[in-house]
Homo-oligomer: A and B are copies of this chain.
Amino acid sequence: MVDRLVVVGGDAAGMGAASQARRSNPALEIVALERGPYTSYSACGIPYLVAGDVASVDDLVARTPEEFRANQRIDVRMGHEVVGVDLDARTLDVRDLERQRSIRMPFDQLLFGTGARPIRPDLPGIDADWIHGVQTLQDGERLLAAARSSGCRNVVVVGAGYVGLEMAEAFYRWGAKVVLLDANDTCMARTLDPDMGGQLADVVRGLGVEVRLGERVTGFAEGAVVTERGSVPADLVVLGLGVQPNSELAGAAGVTLGARDAIQVDARQQTNVEGVWAAGDCADTYDLMARRRVHIALGTVANRTARVAGLNIGGAYARFPGVVGTAVTKVCGTEVARTGMTETAAHAAGFDFVVARIEATGRAGYFPGAEPMTVKLLAEKVTGRVLGAQIVGGADSAKRIDTVATILHAGMDVAQVIDLDLSYAPPFSPVWDPVQVAARKALSLLNAA
């Protein structure tokens, strides 16, 4: 008898795992259930859709249901919501939303690719229809319509993380008056150290966005966001407070939950139940630097964990080693990147380390268009091992974080970084790459320590 894989969720994780499982096992029967109208879309692209950089919502759809059906023999069913899982009977209760009927569907293997949803704290008035999360393409369409509308002049973005910053820029570029509110004292407080986050806050302020930090939102009134310090006029609110995993379905069925209530998986992306897997934003993952399980909802992690899950479902043996916490974004002309541990996190974890902070340029200093960047690099005192890095700078700066991410995976020390044969030509880099300039600074601090 042919095994049946059922995938719950038709976005990057679900369809990535389904596609990989198909490649690994041509005989598998594969059903993918998606409650919404889109498969495999780029949620990361929504801020750029709203900003007007991306012409159409269709551009954000990597592959349509028809393509999955035709090219990969995946039985994709749109508008199908899974409402219950019986792990003993190995069946799903599925609601066909269009036909308004229920189906009981048996499975041999099951993959949760249910994703995550924007956090909506339990505040008075938060369920009003002018308060938007940023997750689905429908969210993107609604926000774009609002941005284009002349009635939308006062926009308040709550949360100065990646999504909040990107959305602040999007509305700023449409000419709205934008207020960016965050209860923390800097931008991107969860992922950048205060010095780097502060540098970024200055950039955003320089654009003309009002950045109000250390100010907690207490609720929403008619046409205003209420904070502990007063009231901020708002035609529209964007929530950028992070996401929480859609793990309730799995949890209710008896699947063990892990970090931040994400579905706990092993290195093969299998849950505590044999043949039941999870990948992407609904699952937890392993942080190679902090050496603990974490919840990181990023497209890169979703795609990589989906691949591993799909290989295992298809009969191969694959392990996902974990992440080092790499992320990158852009606020107008300013690029931001980070990987590994921040100073804050490394202190909390009890590391003994030096912090090198350097200024460099993305091209040879004399080359036209050379823009400044700040690189902050942490190195452990006894071993010299690189622990993490953060970059804030102009053009050509952020993607250098990939070198550091690779360094972290390899466990290199700063002396090894200095000797790396990185590329140089005047349009691309100073002769010592900024990452190496930071490593040299760190080495001299280690020698002096």
Judge whether B401 and A403 touch: CB under 8 Å: no
Min C-beta distance of A90 to chain B, whole Å:
30
Judge whether A418 and B48 touch: CB under 8 Å: no
What is the CA–CA distance of A339 and B405 in the complex, to the nearest angstrom?
Answer: 18
> With an 8 A cutoff between CB atoms, is A307 at the interface?
yes
Min C-beta distance of A148 to chain B, whole Å:
18
Judge whether B400 and A422 touch: CB under 8 Å: no
Judge whether A428 and B368 touch: CB under 8 Å: no
Q: Mark A37-71, 1 if CB is under 8 A from B, else 0.
A: 00000101100100001100001100000000000
> With an 8 A cutoff between CB atoms, is A257 at the interface?
no
Asked if A300 meets B407 with Cβ closer than 8 Å, knowing A48-B426, A364-B42, A401-B423, the reply is no
Judge whether B405 and A402 touch: CB under 8 Å: no
Residues of B within 8 A of A337 (CB): 423
Choice from B59, B303, B329, B423 contacting A326 with Cβ under 8 Å: B423
Residues of B within 8 A of A418 (CB): 304, 307
Min C-beta distance of A17 to chain B, whole Å:
15
Judge whether B425 and A328 touch: CB under 8 Å: yes
Residues of B within 8 A of A367 (CB): 45, 48, 53-54
Residues of B within 8 A of A403 (CB): 402-403, 406
Stretch with Cβ within 8 A of B (4 or more), from A94-102, A270-278, A408-416 = A408-416
What is the CA–CA distance of A59 and B335 in the complex, to the nearest angstrom?
Answer: 27
Residues of B within 8 A of A400 (CB): 399, 402
Min C-beta distance of A19 to chain B, whole Å:
12
> With an 8 A cutoff between CB atoms, is A208 at the interface?
no
Residues of B within 8 A of A416 (CB): 321, 409
Counting every copy of the chain, the complex holds: 2
Interface size on A, residues (CB 8 A): 64
When C-beta atoms are compared, the residue in chain B nearest to A59 turns out to be B366
> With an 8 A cutoff between CB atoms, is A421 at the interface?
yes
> With an 8 A cutoff between CB atoms, is A201 at the interface?
no
When C-beta atoms are compared, the residue in chain B nearest to A417 turns out to be B406
What is the CA–CA distance of A433 and B398 in the complex, to the nearest angstrom?
Answer: 14
What is the CA–CA distance of A324 and B427 in the complex, to the nearest angstrom?
Answer: 21
Judge whether B420 and A405 touch: CB under 8 Å: yes
Residues of B within 8 A of A396 (CB): 399
Residues of B within 8 A of A303 (CB): 431-432
Residues of B within 8 A of A324 (CB): 421
Judge whether B54 and A422 touch: CB under 8 Å: no
Choice from B323, B368, B412, B426 contacting A42 with Cβ under 8 Å: B426
Residues of B within 8 A of A326 (CB): 421-423
What is the CA–CA distance of A224 and B6 in the complex, to the nearest angstrom?
Answer: 73
Min C-beta distance of A367 to chain B, whole Å:
7
What is the CA–CA distance of A60 and B339 in the complex, to the nearest angstrom?
Answer: 33
User: Which of chain A's residues 279-304 have a Cβ closer than 8 Å to chain B?
Assistant: 298-301, 303-304
User: Which of chain A's residues 10-57 have a Cβ closer than 8 Å to chain B?
Assistant: 12, 42, 44-45, 48, 53-54
When C-beta atoms are compared, the residue in chain B nearest to A287 turns out to be B421
User: Which of chain A's residues 60-88 have a Cβ closer than 8 Å to chain B?
Assistant: 60
Choice from B12, B45, B321, B398 contacting A423 with Cβ under 8 Å: B398
> With an 8 A cutoff between CB atoms, is A330 at the interface?
yes
What is the CA–CA distance of A162 and B426 in the complex, to the nearest angstrom?
Answer: 12
Judge whether B409 and A420 touch: CB under 8 Å: yes
What is the CA–CA distance of A337 and B421 in the complex, to the nearest angstrom?
Answer: 13
Q: Mark A118-130, 1 if CB is under 8 A from B, else 0.
A: 0000000000000
Q: Which 10 residue pairs are nearest across A and B when measured between Cβ atoms?
A: A410-B410, A328-B423, A59-B366, A406-B406, A326-B421, A324-B421, A323-B421, A300-B424, A299-B431, A402-B403
Chain A to chain B contacts (Cβ below 8 Å), 18 pairs: A42-B364, A44-B431, A45-B426, A48-B367, A298-B424, A321-B419, A326-B422, A327-B423, A328-B425, A330-B427, A335-B428, A339-B423, A400-B402, A402-B423, A406-B410, A406-B422, A409-B420, A410-B412
Additional 11 contacts, C-beta under 8 A, given A48-B426, A329-B425, A410-B412: A54-B367, A299-B424, A304-B419, A327-B425, A328-B425, A337-B423, A399-B423, A402-B420, A402-B433, A403-B406, A406-B406
